[in-house]
Amino acid sequence: MEYYNYLKSLHLIFVITWFAGLFYIVRLFVYQIEANEKPSPEKEILQAQYKIMTYRLWYIITWPSAILASIFAFSLLYLNPGLIYLDYMQVKFGFVFALYLYHAKCHQIFKQLQNDEVKYSNNFMRLWNEGATIILFAVVFLIIVKSAINWIFGVIGIFLFSIIIMLGFRFYKRIRERK
């Protein structure tokens, strides 16, 4: 247990870098999709650059951070197995599972864009970018408040937060379209 706080610190650091990678990769997806609509040669130049940027971000920062955050999390659970039985931690595990699914979907989109397959609009990607934000809010509040009983209020809050994000997105889209 002497190393527990060091492991917890490393877990938190790699969770932060994992989220940073997820936030930025989806933003790069938006730019990559928008570049696809540009005329030649601008399109090819931008596409080539975004492919390099997304590749480096994905494989040098995001994937290693996800793996290391997971290793340190499992280490913490090994050292303190009682955490598994806490109600709030079980709810957190559900959100972490959702984060893994989000990451997997981002990987699928990454591979499609690396192969010049554009299956989503830039507007979809802007909304998709909020998925990680919602999971982050849920996990942080759950860990700080440490109450699974209040998770219902948290879910309601996340739902309302999502609605506010979507309304803000529509407002921003209208402003952008006027320009």
Give the pLDDT confidence of 76-133 residue by residue, as tens digits. Answer: 999 999 999 998 899 899 999 999 999 999 999 999 999 999 999 998 998 899 889 8
The domain of 164 spans 4-178
Q: Residues annotated as binding site? A: 11, 92
pLDDT of 163 reads 82
Q: Which two tokens stand for residue 26?
A: 């989806």
**HSE, side-chain direction, 13 A CA sphere, residue 115:** 7
Query: Mean per-residue pLDDT for 41-68?
Result: 97
Q: Residues annotated as binding site for heme? A: 11, 92
The pTM score is 0.85
User: b or e along 25-52 (b: 16 or more beta carbons within 10 Å of the residue's beta carbon)?
Assistant: bbebbbbbbebeeeeeeeeeebbeebbe
Mean pLDDT is lowest, of 18-32, 50-64, 67-81, 157-171, for 157-171
Residue 147 φ/ψ region, left for φ over 0, alpha for ψ in the -120 to 50 degree band, beta for the rest: beta
Structural domain total, the chain? 1
pLDDT of 80 reads 95
Query: Mean per-residue pLDDT for 26-31?
Result: 96
Report whether pLDDT(148) > 60.
no
